[in-house]
Structure 1
Amino acid sequence: MWGHYKPRRGHSPSLSSLLRRELSQLFPTARDSPLLGRSHPRRVDARSLFALRLLPILSAMHLTLEFGGGLELLLEKSTKVHKVDLQPNDGDGKVVMKGLLAWVKSNLIKERPEMFLKGDSVRPGVLVLINDCDWELCGGLDAELEEKDVVVFISTLHGG
């Protein structure tokens, strides 16, 4: 939304006017807005709005995903290392492996997802490591991921 506003020539809008415009798009009436007070329906707390806009970014979990053993060929970009930002998929603010696998399937895999996934889990023959530890020891599909974790997927099945 920030890029949609084009100021008139010679006119530089104030930050508060940009924030007011942004807030009015998010909350059409003052009653809908948790940031606008009843006594001042047109006043905007710039810090609150800024925090509201950054909340999804701040709550995103930064993970490093590595693919090897031929799995990288299934991805949209055939690169082995992907730095990703994931939103927590539940109200707890946690990302679990089951959610990560669903995200990888919908966002990174471009072809033959059946070579990587079987149902909600990885196929037999795909080794999964969370911070260099076997994911089964961490809880498998229910393993909770933390900020800056490194998750490695390696296919152990290959021809030869």
Structure 2
Amino acid sequence: MLNTYIYFLRFETAFYLVALEHIRKILLESTEAASFMWRTPMDFLQRYFGKDLFLPPPQLYELSRFLNYKRLDELLEFEQIRSKEGITHMLPVIQNCTDGSVSLLPGDDFYPSDPQGSDQAEVINLTMMEYRSKTQKLHRIEFFNNSKPLIQLNCSSTDDHFSPTNI
């Protein structure tokens, strides 16, 4: 069987949490940002699932973590404590299955020891359910064709972070 690979560029992105009492005027830096929106995490996710907005996997994952908190002050308290632990790099590794794609994350049994060297998406001749059944520890986002993504996490976090929530 001939393997097919999809090449893609990797970007290092940082996420920042800013708590505001009032919406501020924004001056866009034209080479870095094309537009902006002030929205709640749930609103961003609903727009994504409604196909009104595209979110790359890291943004989808991070926004789903915020759903663990009902009040902003709870999230801010957690983030102040958590920020002392440093930054954890989450470099997704893409695997294409017959019925969608899987974005592997650190802690998943199939996550490579050198994710920097994984600059191509490998095609796997299995369904995502078959691929999932071949491992014990899951930390991934499954993107089924024509369906909403599903975050799979059944192993403990190594960085004391809160887990994402599927909606």
Q: Normalising by the residue count of structure 2, what TM-score does the alignment of the two structures yield?
A: 0.23
Q: Normalising by the residue count of structure 1, what TM-score does the alignment of the two structures yield?
A: 0.24
**Structure whose CA Rg is larger:** 1
